[in-house]
Amino acid sequence: MSRYSAMLAAVALLWGASFLFIKVAVRELDPSTLILGRLGIAALTLALIVPLMLGGRATAAEIRSNAGWLLVVALVNTALPFWLLSWGETRIDSGLASIMQASVPIFNAVVAFGFFRDVRVTGARLLGVAIGFVGVALLVGAQPHGKVLGALAVVGMALCYAVGQLLAGRHLGHVPPPAVALATTAIAAIAATPAGLVQAPHHVPGWKTIASVIALGVPGTALAFLLFYAIIAGAGAAYAALVTYLIPPIALAYGAIFLDERFGAAAFGGLALILGGVALGSGVRLSRRTRVLPE
């Protein structure tokens, strides 16, 4: 497992840094423009890599035959949550956003309980869901009045990811993961184009902003997607899901070191409750063929 452990650590470092780069970029860019840049760069990168992995004709055939659900998953699992996270980080710290992101498995269990009977969580695991929700409520409730909407936007992101993962697992589980990554990223980039162009600044952004968008697009999205899917294929989705536990402390460290962010007892208490709830409430057995889409 050493190979996959290294890959998992790399994904956690990349996605943990994404919260930092988003926080830097939204200082100068509207969230819609940031998302357009991030997804556009990621889509172009994947368009160069994925056909080499699967073959151009095979990639095109997979996308054509599954276009409907790829469109739905692209909007629910990429375009909308990316925007909610970026908008939320205009109001709350990057580390706090990463803690709330860790609640995705909690929402996954809730959505599955209501709408996906084949992957329902029951019994003691429901207690884990309740504990996780207490952590989310603690974090949102601890925010000053002006930051509550930002916190709720990130909670909305977690809900979108939960719905998107379940839809992808049910309807796109048979599609090669690199093809899913390419198609959903490209579709989401197209969806973000109108608002991204309208909200674009009238000046050339600073180098830190440009570098942040590139970092989000190439390593933070395209490379991280490919690594994450490789982990799922080789070690299983349950192992890949461990990244949920690694991202918040990494993002908190990035925020404290590079953005001088500071976090109180509510943040760490919420983190403990969320991760504890995830550990107790998301113990559903996941086969190697289960597809889990990343944040």
Tens of pLDDT, residue by residue over 87-105, are 999 999 998 899 888 888 7
List C-alpha distances in Å: 15 to 41, 54, 251: 16, 25, 8
Give the list of residues 6+ apart from residue 69 with CB closer than 8 angstroms, or none.
Answer: 167, 168, 171, 172
Helix (H) or strand (E) holding 25: helix 2-25
Between CA 165 and CA 172 the distance in angstroms is 10
Q: Quick one: pLDDT at residue 23?
A: 95
Which is nearest to 278 in space by CA: 48, 157, 105?
A: 105
Q: Summarize the confidence of residues 7-14 as an average pLDDT.
A: 91
Q: Which residues of 206-227 are buried (b: 16+ CB within 10 A; e: fewer)?
A: eeebeebbebbbbbbbbbbbbb
Q: Quick one: pLDDT at residue 121?
A: 59
Does residue 292 carry a pLDDT above 50? no
Higher-confidence residue: 124 or 266?
A: 266
What band does 286 get if pLDDT is binned at 50, 70 and 90?
very low
Between CA 251 and CA 130 the distance in angstroms is 25
Of 11-20, 192-201, 226-235, 263-272, give the lowest mean pLDDT range.
226-235
User: How high does pLDDT run on average in the chain?
Assistant: 86
Helices (H) and strands (E) in the chain, counts: 15, 0
Total-model pTM: 0.86
Higher-confidence residue: 228 or 209?
A: 209
Tokens for 29, please give them.
Answer: 């860019």
Higher-confidence residue: 136 or 83?
A: 83
Which is nearest to 29 in space by CA: 94, 76, 83, 97?
A: 83
Between CA 136 and CA 93 the distance in angstroms is 15
**Tens of pLDDT, residues 152-186:** 999 999 899 888 878 887 888 888 989 999 999 99
**Tens of pLDDT, residues 185-202:** 999 999 999 999 999 999
